[in-house]
Amino acid sequence: MSSWPPSLPDSLPAADPATLAERVRAALRDVPDFPYPGSLFMEFTPVLSDPVLFGAVIEHWAERWRDRGIDAVAGVESRGFIFAAPLALRLGCAFLPIRKPGKLPYRTVSVEYALEYGTDRLEAHADALAAGARVLIVDDVLATGGTAQATAQLVQQLGGTVAGAVFLLELGFLRGVERLAGIPVDVLVKA
């Protein structure tokens, strides 16, 4: 029987991107009819269950973004937090939580954005960034690009500059990357 938590080295070797993408894709679980009948949800918690694979994903992104002057990593609620917080630690920079309305206790700025049926809003603390801070946006999935685009607008409202955006998975058929024109996008698995 193995012990928990497993012991991991202080630094994980960066995996070959193609091999890492294959390992992540193999770990993804397809869930039919979620969140509604007829849809197919690609679920990533098996990646999180494997601490070596999860660590390799974080290390992969850290290696790719380490020398790009990142001042903060913006994690989009809620699944983006899972990847953004450890990445911020590896990069030695701030973690910026991007939240749904009413979740932050201090003065906030917000952006409203369109959904397929209606609108939604994202918020961040008004004092979250220094002027000119270079921010890396992190989320689990790039689908239509609306949430990532709204996050980029929020970063700009805060006085920051979007240095790039990283996603574990891109649903390419939804063409979300087109909404992020001008922002370097780093995707590990394309579906």
pLDDT tens for each residue of 16-67: 888 999 999 999 999 999 988 998 889 999 999 999 999 999 999 999 999 9
Share of the chain above pLDDT 90, in %: 84
Q: How far is CA 129 from the centre of its chain?
A: 18
pLDDT at 28: 96
Q: Count of residues for the chain?
A: 191
- Helices 79-91 and 51-65 cross at an angle (nearest 10°) of 60
Q: Is the pLDDT of residue 6 over 60?
A: no
Burial of residue 49 (number of CB atoms within 10 Å: 0-12, 13-18, 19+): exposed
pLDDT bracket for residue 189 (50, 70, 90): very high
Q: How far is CA 185 from the centre of its chain?
A: 11
pLDDT tens for each residue of 87-123: 999 999 999 999 999 999 999 999 999 877 789 999 9
pLDDT at 5: 52
Nearest to 142 by CA among 182, 173, 113, 100: 173
Nearest to 77 by CA among 108, 46, 49: 108
Q: Is the pLDDT of residue 171 over 60?
A: yes
Give the 3-state secondary structure of residue 134. strand
Which one of 3.40.50.2020, 2.40.10.220, 3.90.1150.10, 3.30.413.10 gives the CATH number of domain 68-190? Answer: 3.40.50.2020
pTM of the model: 0.91
Q: Where are the domains of the chain?
A: 68-190
pLDDT at 102: 95
Please, are residues 44 and 108 in contact by the beta-carbon 8 Å criterion? no
pLDDT at 37: 92
Q: Is the pLDDT of residue 190 over 70?
A: yes
Half-sphere exposure of 142 (CA within 13 A, CB side): 27
Answer whether the bond into residue 3 is a cis peptide, omega within 30°: no
Burial of residue 124 (number of CB atoms within 10 Å: 0-12, 13-18, 19+): buried
pLDDT tens for each residue of 117-167: 789 999 999 999 999 999 999 999 999 999 999 999 999 999 999 999 999
Q: Is the pLDDT of residue 12 over 60?
A: no
